[in-house]
């Protein structure tokens, strides 16, 4: 595998995360990508948390290697 193939493979998602309830309620002729309504953010334990907005449930929370400044909503130096 050459470098360009490795970069492409690294940027591709292998498996998707969907809310089981959203998938059960998926309208005909609609893809999960069109139907999904999720949000992602850092929780108070400094974990990346994924929520289903439609059903108001936590889909998962994962520890990540880096520590992030949770005082700001973006990488804007507090502006």
Share of the chain above pLDDT 90, in %: 53
Q: Are 43 and 60 in contact (CB under 8 A)?
A: no
| CA–CA separation, 13 and 49 (whole Å) | 18
Which whole number is the average pLDDT over 21-33?
95
Question: Domain locations in the chain?
Answer: 37-64
Average pLDDT, the chain: 84
In this model, does residue 72 exceed pLDDT 70?
Answer: no
> In this predicted model, which residue has the larger pLDDT, 60 or 77?
60
pLDDT of residue 4: 74
pTM of the model: 0.68
């Amino acid at each position: 595998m050459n470098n360009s193939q490795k970069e492409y493979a690294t940027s591709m998602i292998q498996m998707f995360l969907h809310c089981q309830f959203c998938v059960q309620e998926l309208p005909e002729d609609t893809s999960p990508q069109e139907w999904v309504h999720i949000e992602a953010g850092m929780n108070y334990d400094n974990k990346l948390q994924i929520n289903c907005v439609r059903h108001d449930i936590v889909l998962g929370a994962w520890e990540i290697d880096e520590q992030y400044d949770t005082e700001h909503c973006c990488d804007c130096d507090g502006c």
